[in-house]
Amino acid sequence: MTIKCKAKMKDGAVEVKALMKHAMETGLRKDKKTGEPIPAHFISEIVCNHNGSEIFRCNMGPAISKNPYLAFMVSGPQAGDSLQIASVDNMGETDSGETVVK
What domains sit in the chain, N to C, each tagged with a CATH number?
Answer: 2-100 (2.60.40.10)
Residue type, 40: A
Question: pLDDT per residue over 30-41, tens digit each?
Answer: 999 999 999 999
- Alpha-carbon distances, residue 22 vs 13, 14, 51, 98 (angstroms): 28, 25, 27, 17
Summarize the confidence of residues 75-99 as an average pLDDT.
96
Quick one: pLDDT at residue 2?
Answer: 84
Question: pLDDT per residue over 54-79, tens digit each?
Answer: 999 999 999 999 999 999 999 999 99
CA 49 to chain centre: 12
Tell me if 56 sits within 8 A of 70, measured CB to CB: no
Query: How far apart (Å, rounded) are the C-alpha atoms in residues 47 and 81?
Result: 17
pTM for this model (two decimals) = 0.89
* One-character DSSP codes across 16-44: EEEEEE---B-S--B-TTT-PBPPPB-EE
